[in-house]
Structure 1
């Protein structure tokens, strides 16, 4: 799958509608009880890139980006303004935001994850497109230095250490991240008259598995 490591203009994605979706299969039995199952281990996000447009210049920028991606052909990065950091919106990114693994004394490479918790349940979301330069990492409560003690691949979200963390040592990370997406349409339809009247086009964007 072709993927361009370029972010959709953040000023255009600001204010867009979107969020996570799940796929649940529900079977209602003869006695009225339900059986529920899901074929998806991970959620998937959808957005509307058209909602953030505020001027004809924005429209031109959208069309240029759309054409450069060849419509649905090439994926790209998307900033989800409601969920783009490892920490709550009221805090700054820190090296101990998320526990991404426990050391085993041998493994030196770990994937970034973000854990969503509610009550006794949790969901670990893979983070495959961290923002370069934003990742902070620590081991057992001590912050580490990027380039000296660890490195990050911003195209995969893999963190690599120069030495394996000790057995049982919590490996933590904080970061900003993008969502890997593609356009969910091969067509953009608009006109100057309708746009000036406030009728912006619908330009669906959908998350892709990386």
Structure 2
């Protein structure tokens, strides 16, 4: 995949708007009942980076980043300030935030995930772009040491254990993460006059599948 392992400037993504979207096909049958189906197993995020622009220096930084990505050609990392941690915003990240799975004595690789729970229902989101230096891992309630007990692939979000966790033990992790995205346009339009008057450019960003 054409991907640059670089993050969109976090100071510019702060203040942007966006969030998850779903695709749902709704068919109303003759008796008034509905049939609903979703062809997407996972949601996709969309953002508008233009609202993060606060000065002409910000606009210049945006244009430089856009040109270096060749418009839509290369995807990149994005910090979603409303959802970038394994723990709640009010809590510290710990090695026990998210349950990745259960050991079977042979499996050594566990991909990072984040679960979204509401009542008895939940959605499990794959996490492919953890932030370097933020991942902590636990097995059976004990925190492990990176480099000694496991390694983490920051380009894919896969944890590899030196020794496979024993059968029946819980594998957990905590982390910060970015969203893999690209520009959803090949054109950035700006005006110094309109920007000074309080207007900002529209800069659509869309999540990509990894």
Same fold (TM over 0.5): yes
- Aligned counterparts of 2:94 and 2:104: Cα–Cα separation in 1: 23
Dislocated runs of 4+, deviation >3 Å: none
Instruction: Tell me what 1:32 maps to.
Output: 32
Superposed counterparts of 1:86-105, under 5 Å: 86-105=86-105
Q: Aligned pair 1:193/2:206, yes or no?
A: no
Q: Give the match's secondary structure for 1:105.
A: coil
Provide, for residues 164-205 of structure 1, a one-character-per-residue CA deviation record: whole Å limited to 9, x for no partner: 001110000000000000000000001100000111000000
- Aligned counterparts of 1:35 and 1:191: Cα–Cα separation in 2: 47
When the two structures are aligned, how many residues end up with a matched partner? 210
TM-score if structure 1 supplies the norm length? 0.99
Instruction: Tell me what 1:208 maps to.
Output: 208
Instruction: Tell me what 2:126 maps to.
Output: 126
- Cα offset, 1:96, TM superposition: 0.1
Structure 2 residues without counterparts, runs of 5 or longer: none
- Cα offset, 1:140, TM superposition: 0.4
Instruction: Tell me what 1:48 maps to.
Output: 48
- Aligned counterparts of 1:200 and 1:86: Cα–Cα separation in 2: 32
- Aligned counterparts of 1:149 and 1:127: Cα–Cα separation in 2: 21
- Cα offset, 1:10, TM superposition: 0.1
RMSD over aligned CA atoms reads 0.4
Instruction: Tell me what 1:177 maps to.
Output: 177
Instruction: Tell me what 2:116 maps to.
Output: 116
- Aligned counterparts of 1:5 and 1:92: Cα–Cα separation in 2: 26
Instruction: Tell me what 1:11 maps to.
Output: 11
Q: Give the match's secondary structure for 2:50.
A: coil
- Aligned counterparts of 2:190 and 2:160: Cα–Cα separation in 1: 46
Q: Aligned pair 1:77/2:88, yes or no?
A: no
Provide, for residues 73-116 of structure 1, a one-character-per-residue CA deviation record: whole Å limited to 9, x for no partner: 00000000000000000011100000011001000001000000
- Aligned counterparts of 1:167 and 1:131: Cα–Cα separation in 2: 29
- Aligned counterparts of 1:85 and 1:191: Cα–Cα separation in 2: 36
Structure 1 residues without counterparts, runs of 5 or longer: none
